[in-house]
């Protein structure tokens, strides 16, 4: 069991190093690449670190039952009574618990009024309804909105006309002030919105999969009786 815990902690350390390397790669590339390619560098880094964060969360969730098992083993064998720090921590916890029960006894064991339970329950129902509407209405349109936002940013940042750039710099007309070649402007106008929509769709799928995995994990824990934070 301790070997599995050590292996998981080493994996978390390796993931932290990968995250630091990803940040350093982004900083290096942002200094070296052209300005119009920087959004791609940023998107690449966000996607890579999102995957690393997900992998680290999976490892942390696997550590929870291992830590609980070690704690139960220590408590079952009475090893905790031989450690002064454990004894002191338990005494402090018992003291805080007794004080809490004493203070809340006149109020029925809780500091919240009775109507707060109803408000909390109804708020949870309302939150689930809002999330359901966002998932069914907004999420399918999110990639298109991301593509539109990227197209708007390109149109207001870059131009292939020196005349429009000069006029825009003095506040006349619409469009960007950074001049690029006509072929570059057309490529940016086509590929960057497409890439933004694809990245948005990818992140949406990853978030949905992470949410479904978390829900499945909680259902499994509820059946097996395992507590998960």
The predicted structure's pLDDT at residue 229: 45
Task: Please give the residue that has the higher pLDDT: either 204 or 39.
Answer: 39
Region 127-153: mean pLDDT is: 76
Region 110-126: mean pLDDT is: 78
Region 113-134: mean pLDDT is: 78
Q: Which residue has the tokens 């993931």?
A: 15
Q: Is the pLDDT of residue 149 over 50?
A: yes
Residues 6+ apart with CB under 8 A from 81: 87
Task: Report the range out of 16-20, 81-85, 141-145, 205-209 with the highest average pLDDT.
Answer: 16-20
The helix (run of H) or strand (run of E) holding residue 29 is: helix 2-32
The predicted structure's pLDDT at residue 138: 59
Q: What digits encode the pLDDT tens for the residues 16-50?
A: 999 999 999 999 988 888 888 888 888 888 888 98
CA gap 164, 154 in Å, rounded: 14
CA gap 133, 127 in Å, rounded: 10
Q: Is the pLDDT of residue 159 over 70?
A: yes
- For residue 69, give both structure tokens: 């098992």
Percent of the chain with pLDDT over 70: 80
Task: Please give the residue that has the higher pLDDT: either 216 or 146.
Answer: 146
DSSP label at 83? -
Give the CA distances from residue 92 to residues 62, 88, 89, in Å, rounded to whole numbers and listed in that order: 29, 6, 5
Among 79, 82, 203, smallest CA distance to 145 is for 203
Residue 55 and residue 15 in contact, taking contact as beta carbons nearer than 8 Å? yes
Residue 143 and residue 201 in contact, taking contact as beta carbons nearer than 8 Å? yes
Q: Is the pLDDT of residue 108 over 50?
A: yes
The predicted structure's pLDDT at residue 228: 47
Residue 12 and residue 19 in contact, taking contact as beta carbons nearer than 8 Å? no
Q: What digits encode the pLDDT tens for the residues 71-94?
A: 777 766 665 555 677 777 778 888
The predicted structure's pLDDT at residue 221: 59
Q: Let me know the angle formed at the C-alpha of 38 by 34 and 44, rounded to the nearest 5 degrees.
A: 135
């Amino acid at each position: 069991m301790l070997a599995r815990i050590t292996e998981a902690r080493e994996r978390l350390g390796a993931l932290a190093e990968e995250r630091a390397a990803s940040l350093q790669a982004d900083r290096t590339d942002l200094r070296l690449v052209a300005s119009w390619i920087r959004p791609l560098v940023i998107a690449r880094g966000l996607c890579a670190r999102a995957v690393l964060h997900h992998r680290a969360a999976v490892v942390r969730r696997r550590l929870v039952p291992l830590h609980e098992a070690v704690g139960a083993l220590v408590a079952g064998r009475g090893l905790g009574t031989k450690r002064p720090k454990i004894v002191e921590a338990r005494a402090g916890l018992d003291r805080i618990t007794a004080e809490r029960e004493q203070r809340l006894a006149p109020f029925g064991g809780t500091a919240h009024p009775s109507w707060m339970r109803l408000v909390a329950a109804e708020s949870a129902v309302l939150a689930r309804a809002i999330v359901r509407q966002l998932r069914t209405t907004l999420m399918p349109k999110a990639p298109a909105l991301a593509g539109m936002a990227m197209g708007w940013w390109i149109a207001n940042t870059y131009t292939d006309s020196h005349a429009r750039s000069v006029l825009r710099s003095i506040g006349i007309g619409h469009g960007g002030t950074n001049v690029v070649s006509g072929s570059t402007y057309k490529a940016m106008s086509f590929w960057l919105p497409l890439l933004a929509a694809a990245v948005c769709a990818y992140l949406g799928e990853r978030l949905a999969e992470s949410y479904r995995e978390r829900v499945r994990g909680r259902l499994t824990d509820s059946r097996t009786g395992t507590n998960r934070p």
